[in-house]
Amino acid sequence: MKLSSFLCLTLLAMALISKSFAQNKLQPASFITFNGYSTNFAEKIDKKEPVTIAFLGGSITNMEGWRGLVCNYLTKTYPQTKFKFINAGIPSLGSLPHAFRLQRDVLDSGKIDLLFVESAVNDHVNKTAEQNQRRALEGIIRHTLNKNPKTNIVLMAFADEDKNNDFDKGKTPVEVKVHSDLAEYYHLPFINLALEVDKRIANKEFTWAADFKDLHPAPFGQQLYFNTIKTYLEENQKNTNKKADSGVPKIIDKFAYTKGQYVNISAAENLNTFSINKNWKPADGLEARPGFVNIPVLESSTRNSSFDFIFKGNAVGIAVLSGPDAGMLHYRIDGGEEKIIDLYTQWSASLHLPWYLLLGDQLGGGEHKLSVRTSEYHHPKSTGYTCRIAYFLVNNN
CB burial of 71-108 (b: ≥16 within 10 Å; e: otherwise) equals: eeebeeebeebeeeebebbbbbbbbbbbbbbbbebbbe
Question: Cα(156)–Cα(180) distance, rounded to whole angstroms?
Answer: 9
Longest distance between any two alpha carbons in the chain, whole Å: 68
What end-to-end distance do the CA atoms of the chain give, in Å? 55
CB proximity list for 127: less than 8 A, separation 6 or greater = none
**What pLDDT sits at residue 160?**
97
Residue among 194, 195, 220 nearest 207 (CA):
220
Question: Cα(208)–Cα(360) distance, rounded to whole angstroms?
Answer: 40
**What pLDDT sits at residue 12?**
58
Radius of gyration of the chain (CA): 22
**What pLDDT sits at residue 17?**
55
DSSP label of 261: E
Question: Cα(69)–Cα(365) distance, rounded to whole angstroms?
Answer: 45
Q: Distances from the Cα of 83 to the Cαs of 54, 230, 240, in angstroms?
A: 11, 16, 19
pLDDT digits (tens, 9 = 90+) for 107-143: 999 999 999 999 999 999 999 999 999 999 999 999 9
Q: What share of the chain is helix, strand, coil (3-state, %, to 5)?
A: 35, 25, 35
Question: Cα(247)–Cα(226) distance, rounded to whole angstroms?
Answer: 30
**What pLDDT sits at residue 242?**
72
Q: What is the dihedral of CA 247, 249, 254, 260, to 10 degrees?
A: -50
Contact at 8 Å (CB) between 175 and 137? no
**What pLDDT sits at residue 293?**
96
Sheet holding 268-272: strands in order across? 268-272, 306-312, 367-374, 328-333, 339-342
Residues of the chain predicted below pLDDT 50:
1-3, 19-22
**What pLDDT sits at residue 23?**
58
SS3 106: coil
**What pLDDT sits at residue 21?**
47
How many degrees, rounded to 5, is the angle at CA 216 between CA 162 and CA 93? 80
